[in-house]
Amino acid sequence: MTNQITSTAPQGTSPADAGDRITTLLAHADDNMVLAQRLGELISNTAELEIDIALGNKALDHLGVARALYTHAGSTEGEGRTEDDLAMFRTERDYTNLLLVEQPNGDFAHTMVLQLFFDAYQMELWKDLSGSPDLTLGGIAAKALKEATYHLRFSSGWVIRLGDGTEESHHRVQDGVDALWRYTSEMFEGAAEKYRSAWTTSIEAAFVDANLEIPSDPYQRTGGRGGFHTEHLGFLLAEMQWMQRSYPGLQW
């Protein structure tokens, strides 16, 4: 059962049609929103205060990108929807984030593998979008590219450290790769196919240093861009949206 739903969302480029542009903006906003929410779960729970701080920074960066993209999507749409309307009042069927980012954090090795896969993807995405004819999007992408460079250094650094470290850490990080590899192809659907080769080069380089193997199982799960999620997203949104849903229409 692979590829149950094929995404129709345009990606990577800036389509002429406003509807498509909003779809694209929301997909990227949702990626960053959901990942920020996951990272927000980790603060005060990691192995060292320095890691808490670094993951807090990463959460803030992704949250900042999500807010900028939601705001831009809202103004492109022109119906007065704010960043909070778009984040808090869309359901799990409306969210079009990648399945990868909604996966639970798991242990630290799992978390770092997830970040590595996503950071390497965002490097290519932001490089591309920083040249977008949509100048607002181009500006968001250029700033995000600087952040992604730092994120990738952090996640690849940890994946290598854990892969090379001890027998236990090596097992844990390989387990993370085995569990998450199935969510990687989705990043390259449609127009995003052009990011695949640079991404693969970057991941392979990290895997050589980390002594990790790409799983032989070809199974890939997709559907996020079409709102066909794993069961984890509903709980993440339930928690995130609870205040707004319980007390609608108020200022906070």
Partner 1 sequence: MSPEEQFQAIVDAEDKIEPSDWMPEGYRQTLIRQIAQHAHSEVIGMQPESNWITRAPTLYRKAILIAKVQDEAGHGLYLYSAAETLGVGRDEMQELLHQGKHKYSSIFNYPTLSWADMGTIGWLVDGAAITNQVMLTRCSYGPYARAMVRICKEESFHQRQGYELLIRLCQGSASQKAMAQDSINRWWWPALMMFGPHDGDSTHTEQSMKWKIKRVTNDDLRQQFVDMTVRQADYLGLEVPDPDLRWNEERGHYDFGDIDWEEFWRVVKGNGPMNRERVAHKVKAWDDGAWVREAAMAHAAKEEARSAA
Q: How many residues bind partner 1 (CB under 8 A)?
A: 49
To which residue do tokens 């591309």 refer? 128
- Least distance to partner 1 from the beta carbon of 44, Å? 4
Q: Which is nearer to partner 1, 33 or 141 (CB)?
A: 33
Q: What is the dihedral of CA 65, 67, 71, 74, to 10 degrees?
A: 100
**Which of 106, 139, 165, 234: binder of partner 1 (CB under 8 A)?**
165
Q: Cα angle at 150 between 135 and 138, to 5 degrees?
A: 5
- Least distance to partner 1 from the beta carbon of 108, Å? 5
Instruction: Tally the C-alpha atoms within 13 A of residue 242's C-alpha that lie toward its C-beta.
Output: 6
How many other C-beta atoms lie within 10 A of the C-beta of residue 4? 10
193 binds partner 1 (CB under 8 A): no
83 binds partner 1 (CB under 8 A): yes
161 binds partner 1 (CB under 8 A): yes
94 binds partner 1 (CB under 8 A): no
The alpha helices in 5-107, defined as continuous H runs, are 18-40, 49-77, 83-88, 99-102
**Which of 5, 94, 107, 193: binder of partner 1 (CB under 8 A)?**
107
Q: What is the dihedral of CA 146, 149, 150, 151, to 10 degrees?
A: 110
Binding site for partner 1 (CB under 8 A): 33, 36-37, 40-41, 43-53, 56-57, 59-60, 63-64, 66-67, 70, 83-84, 87-88, 107-108, 160-162, 164-166, 168-169, 172, 239-240, 242-244, 247, 250-252
